Amino acid sequence: MSPMAPFDEMTSAANVVIHDDERMKAVERPVAGRRRRNQIFLTTCWVTALLSLLILLVLLSAIFWQGFQHFDIRFLYAPPHPDPDQAGVWPAVWGTVWLCAICGVVTLPLGVATAIFLEEYPPRNWWAKKLHSFIQLNIANLAGVPSVVYGILGLTAFVNMFGLFGSEANPKMQIGVVYSDQYLTAGDEVVLVPAEGPSAPSRPLETGMAAEYANGNDMVLNVIGPEDPLPEDQELLRRTLRSDATGGRISDTTWYYVRLPFGRGVLAGGLTLMLVVLPVLIISTQEALRAVPNSLREGALGMGCTRWQMIYKITLPAAMPGIMTGSILAMSRAIGEAAPLLMIAGIVFIKFAPDNLMDDFTALPLQIYNWAQRPQESFHQVAASGIIVLLVVLLAFNGLAIFLRQRFQKPLS
């Protein structure tokens, strides 16, 4: 062995250590850079979230500071009024409840069923695939359409129904309404004579006609001529009418009163909001269904389940949290919409709450808009009080949706 061999081996080992250190440093430099960029990104996210939360707190604080000056029990139960100190939101609150109830009842089954059909029933031929793609493309496009466009569509489709069923003043079909001619007898009693429709001619008054008092008791009319003397019997006088008496046409409706066309009623407003939120609900439901593992579907089908049994027992329970989350977001958007309702309702100063599906209505966004556009500062404070009520209604509907999500959620096992 050469006397220089140990020295050469030591030199080679030192060179190896030096090269290993250089390689480690070369590897650690990009890792350190990635960690630094990751920390910068994380810090940016935290700062952005805190700034957003701070802005939200400032806005809510300003609204509550202005709104609590008019917020009391009287404000909740009073109708709108030209005097800001007497104005309230009772008709707007009930209008919002009616709108959201109609929107939810129609939108949730229709949206979930559409998403199930698009996701769980794949097309089997070329034409079905093209139709499936066309529907999917249109749903994605409709989700980005401005809400005022839906207001114009609702005005044409639901309020007027393309002019196919007459007009609001003379509808072609009605359910849940009774028309009567109201008369005042010689004994100062209000009586009602049945009529055939809103614009039908009044029935000729004849002795023995069946009528009823305004309080609901049946009676038989005693009709006399224009110049005939009045009877002395008080009971007969109470139901005596002259043949030339004129009556006023009135209507008695139930809560389920429906006519075609719908007109500017609360049903047309709820269906218009359905158009606004339906694409959002369909897309969110599709995403929830796609998140369910395919192995669950294959296992259910492999054990002999039909496709509907697999959907009902496996897929829907597993996707229910995502579906309910999408429903919460959709209903939250519906509660705050004002533009489509302004196209449908037409008026925003209404002093009564809806009694049936065809009644005129207002809603909290419309009422807040009406107050906020006025120049008086006191009405701006009333608008802030209305915003507080709107937030409470929004939280109530969201809380109900969260409760239902937790109630019907089932584990994957």
What is the model's pLDDT at position 408? 66
Considering the domain architecture, whether residues 124 and 182 belong to the same structural domain is answered as no
Structural domain containing residue 15: 1-67
> pLDDT tens digits for 135-148?
999 998 988 888 99
- Tell which of 52, 67, 82 closes a domain: 67
What is the model's pLDDT at position 107? 94
Considering the domain architecture, whether residues 59 and 206 belong to the same structural domain is answered as no
Cα distances (angstroms) measured from residue 35 to each of 26, 39, 43, 44, 47: 15, 6, 12, 14, 18
CA–CA distance, 277 with 285 (Å, rounded to integer): 12
Considering the domain architecture, whether residues 245 and 369 belong to the same structural domain is answered as no
Query: Per the domain annotation, does 216 fall within a domain?
Result: yes
Phi, psi torsion values for 43, nearest 5 degrees: -65, -40
Structure tokens at 322: 């995502």
In the chain, how many domains are there?
Answer: 3
- Tell which of 196, 228, 254 closes a domain: 254
Query: Per the domain annotation, does 380 fall within a domain?
Result: yes
Considering the domain architecture, whether residues 268 and 364 belong to the same structural domain is answered as yes
CA–CA distance, 367 with 354 (Å, rounded to integer): 15
Is residue 25 over pLDDT 70? no
Cα distances (angstroms) measured from residue 409 to each of 91, 106, 269, 313: 35, 22, 31, 12
Considering the domain architecture, whether residues 391 and 276 belong to the same structural domain is answered as yes
Cα distances (angstroms) measured from residue 262 to each of 10, 135, 166, 195: 97, 28, 10, 21
Considering the domain architecture, whether residues 237 and 353 belong to the same structural domain is answered as no
Is residue 278 over pLDDT 90? yes
Is residue 11 over pLDDT 60? no
What is the model's pLDDT at position 57? 92
| CATH number where 88 lies | 1.10.3720.10
Query: Per the domain annotation, does 413 fall within a domain?
Result: no
pLDDT level of residue 413 (50, 70, 90 thresholds): very low
pTM higher than 0.95, yes or no? no
Considering the domain architecture, whether residues 397 and 284 belong to the same structural domain is answered as yes
Considering the domain architecture, whether residues 212 and 241 belong to the same structural domain is answered as yes
Is residue 17 over pLDDT 60? no
Structure tokens at 143: 């989700």
CA atoms within 13 A on the CB side of 81: 15
Considering the domain architecture, whether residues 35 and 84 belong to the same structural domain is answered as no
Considering the domain architecture, whether residues 199 and 93 belong to the same structural domain is answered as no
Considering the domain architecture, whether residues 56 and 86 belong to the same structural domain is answered as no
Single out the residue of 209, 216, 215, 196 nearest to residue 239, CA to CA: 209
Considering the domain architecture, whether residues 31 and 90 belong to the same structural domain is answered as no
- Tell which of 221, 254, 287 closes a domain: 254
